[in-house]
Amino acid sequence: MLFFIEVVLSGLLAGVMYSLVALGFVLIFKASGIFNFAQGVMALFAALTLVGLMEKFNFPVWLAIIGTIAVMIALAWLIERLMLRHLVNQEPIILFMATIGLAYVLEGVGDIMWGSDVKLLDIGIPQGAWDWLWDQGIYVEKLELFAAGTAAILVIFLAIFFQKTRIGRALRAVADDHQAALSVGISLNTIWVVVWSVSGIVALVAGIMWGSKSGVQFSLSLIALKALPVLILGGFTSIPGAIIGGIIIGVGEKLAEVYVGPMVGGAIENWFAYMLALAFLLFRPQGLFGEKIIERV
Amino acid sequence: MIYRETGQFKSSYQADQALFPINQDRYVIFAVLIVTFGIVPMLLNEYWLNAIMLPFLIYSLAAIGLNILTGYCGQVSLGTGGFMAVGAYSVYKLMIAFPELGFIPLVLISGLITAAVGTLFGLPSLRIKGFYLAVATLAAQFFLIWLFNKVGWFYNYNASGMISSPPMTLFGVTITGPEGDMKAKYLLVAGLVAVFALAAKNIARGRIGRNWMAIRDMDIAAELIGVRPLIAKLSAFAVSSFYIGMAGALYFAVWLGSVEPTEAFDINQSFLVLFMIIIGGLGSVLGSFFGAAFLVLMPILLKNIMVDGFGTDAALAAHIEIITVGALIVGFLIIEPHGLAQLWRIAKEKLRLWPFPH
């Protein structure tokens, strides 16, 4: 029983880590209808920049984080200027392809600027087992608990930002209808910069958590692939969906790996999440919390 | 002046419905075929055939396959790498079990096996659409690669987990594996690609192709006018997977000779083929060739220029290469989102009017 609880708990927390990446996807998809494949690479890029600032320029942690946020905002501005602005009104598949191109560029730039070796990221997040539960015989990473707390704060912050602020209202307007938003005087370009900046910051948070967990390296960009089933499970347009989807995927994946994996030769983590999401989709094609798609001729 | 249909009168329905109704198109196709089968094998040495022509042709075949699904039927798929692996492993098992059938029938059979697998993974497309479907096809990609890694039967319980193609002959010439004759390999692949490219063009303009395009443009409207989505979507998955499976079989047996599933058929293959059809042009057979040529040639060219020309460090050159590929993709999408095939169409339109501007 204890073992089962431990598996479920670690699945829960791993799920929260997936949600952190999925959140960035949802933000951009909601506000611009772009399926941003580069989100994982953005997390890698943010983490690389953070480590680079700390190592090469000996910045203290807080300054490095501010510096990285500035870099991510500048990046959002550049992306809007050089890419999105020219792709207005294109089909979603074209925009999706463009973000894959962007992922390649960011990956190359990050490697050239900061080197491609594995780096340790230590910004003082507690590591190791959580003593209180460890005494009960359950192993839980402090880092993952910390990540869960951060995710909660992040979601609250985003909810307030979206619901209560002026920019948040504009963002929701743009998400609803591009043209209507334009006609009441909301600048699409500004909104896109804001949204990409916010998702850049979410990427930084995800990058810090994943980087502290397993080192900053190329494989970090592959967590985007882990976040995709979370997205289709939760729905592309729902922030709570990203969190709950992440938790379902995390728990399901861990349980399957531990209890089913040995029967079929292991390493099923790679595809199990997709199959789980696919099974859900057959019953709810728009994901658990996605907007219902109403189609007219 | 040069390219126009004026003066070419059709006197039968057959002539009117020809695959290439304009004479000039026919001449160009004949010229291309003569160059492909007559001149290229004489001019190019083994290195060129192996490093450029074979991958170009094989990826063209895969791109035509994906274009049928994505370009004509509008179903985005990210499972190309997985389906190519199905083709490769089927042809491997078949080559070992039934060598007496001959290589070409085996390639066709492995195409059919892939078509069956593709149809199975196409079933969710009846319920889900757009990006949800794209992500769902990733399930095929990861599951199939995992399967070929874990189940020993597929690689004959070989200790390394790799599969190597046994030598097979066609008209007495070895055409598979590392000992194969390069020119024979090239001619075989070129022949298959030529036949199936024409077949694709023919399917696409016929009844099935029109059903696909109706589904792509608006599936509900298509359903209302009597296109059956079940048949249209699943047939697109089947035909597309058939092409991709054949491409996978050739990729493994003829070009590489031995493969390891996680490396050779990973998700980057799926993206590569998707890039090819986007850059080449969605919904165009010719575009598939353009896209494949562009993405096969460009990395080689970049590498040659940077490493040999400027003496750049190889690791740095690799980084610059991926940046350039990424930037070019974005640039292409901005300048011509309909791909190289669209440039070709515009050029034809201009030629038709030349020397007048309108």
C-beta of residue B272 within 8 angstroms of C-beta of residue B152: no
Least-confidence region, from B231-240, B274-283, B345-354? B345-354
Select the more confidently predicted residue: A40 or A216.
Answer: A40
Q: Which chain B residue lies closest to A102 (C-alpha atoms)?
A: B326
Tell me what the mean pLDDT of segment B60-88 comes to: 91
Contact residues on chain A for B326, CB-CB shorter than 8 A:
100-108
- Confidence band (pLDDT; 50, 70, 90) for A136? low
What tens digit of pLDDT does each residue of B80-135 get? Answer: 999 999 999 999 988 888 888 888 889 999 999 999 999 998 888 887 877 778 87
- Of B76, B119, B127, B122, nearest to A280 by C-alpha is B127
What pLDDT was estimated at residue B18?
77
* CA distance, residue B121 to nearest chain A CA (Å): 11
Percent of chain B with pLDDT over 70: 97
CA distances from B41 to A208, B35, B37, B54, B191 (A): 55, 9, 7, 12, 13
Residue A123 has pLDDT above 60, yes or no: yes
Task: Tell me the mean pLDDT in the region A37-47.
Answer: 87
Closest residue in chain A to residue B218, using alpha carbons only: A297
Give the list of residues 6+ apart from residue B233 with CB closer than 8 angstroms, or none: B73, B75, B122, B125, B126, B215
Q: Would the CB atoms of A297 and B224 count as touching at under 8 Å? A: yes
User: Per the structure block, which two tokens stand in for B242?
Assistant: 């058939």
For residue A242, pLDDT beyond 90: no
Query: Which among A39, A48, A93 is the top mutation candidate for probing chain B, defined by the most B β-carbons within 10 Å of its own β-carbon?
Result: A93
**What residues of chain B lie within 8 A of the CB of A274, using their CB?**
135-136, 138-139, 142-143
Q: Check: CB of residue A68 under 8 Å from CB of residue A216.
A: no
β-bridge mates for residue A129, sequence order: A141
Q: What is the mean pLDDT of chain B?
A: 84
Under 8 Å between Cβ of A30 and A194:
no
Please count the other Cβ atoms lying within 10 Å of the Cβ belonging to residue B31.
11
Q: CB-CB: which of A101, A267, A297 is closest to B326?
A: A101
Chain A partners within 8 Å of B224 (Cβ) = 297
Residues B298-313 have a mean pLDDT of 77
For Cα atoms A113, B321, B71, give the angle at the middle one, nearest 5 degrees.
125
Instruction: Tell me the nearest-neighbour CA distance from A146 into chain B, angstroms.
Output: 30
Query: Quick one: pLDDT band at residue B335, thresholds 50, 70, 90?
Result: confident
- Residue A293 scores a pLDDT above 70: no
pLDDT of residue B210: 92
**Shortest CB distance from A111 goes to which of B130, B319, B328?**
B319
Does an H or E element contain B173, and which? strand B173-174
Confidence (pLDDT) at B44: 77
Q: Does B142 reach chain A within 8 Å, measured CB to CB?
A: yes
Of A33-47, A238-252, B124-138, B273-287, the poorest mean pLDDT is in B124-138
Eight-state DSSP code of residue A270: H
Say which amino acid occupies B241.
S
**Chain B contact set for A109 (CB, 8 A):** 323
* pLDDT score at B29: 84
Q: A35 to chain B: which residues are within 8 Å by CB? A: 131
| Beta-carbon separation of A265 and B142 below 8 A | no
Question: Whose CA is closest to B352, among B1, B24, B26, B22?
Answer: B1
Interface of B with A in 143-172 (CB under 8 A): 143, 145-146, 149-151
Nearest C-alpha of chain A: how many angstroms from B314?
12
| Complex-level ipTM beyond the 0.85 threshold | no
Confidence tier at A39 by pLDDT (50, 70, 90): confident
Q: In whole numbers, what is the pLDDT of chain A averaged over residues?
A: 80
CA A283 to chain B, closest CA, distance in angstroms equals 9
B52 touches chain A (CB under 8 A): no
Q: Of the given ranges (B39-48, B215-224, B266-275, B306-315), which has the lowest mean pLDDT?
A: B306-315
Question: Of A148, A121, A133, nearest to A15 (Cα)?
Answer: A148
CA torsion sign for B145, B150, B153, B157 is positive
| CB-CB neighbors (< 8 A) of B129 in chain A | 285, 293
Contact B132 A94 (CB under 8 A): no
Q: Average pLDDT in the B238-267 region?
A: 88
B227: left (phi over 0), alpha (psi -120 to 50) or beta: beta
* CB within 8 Å: A265 and B150: yes
Residue A133: predicted pLDDT: 63
Q: Do residue A101 and residue B330 have CB atoms under 8 angstroms apart?
A: yes
Span between the terminal Cα atoms of chain B, in Å: 13
pLDDT tens profile B9-24: 778 888 777 777 777 7
Return the structure tokens found at A270.
């790679």
Percentage, residues of chain B above pLDDT 90: 22
Q: So what's the pLDDT on residue B64?
A: 94
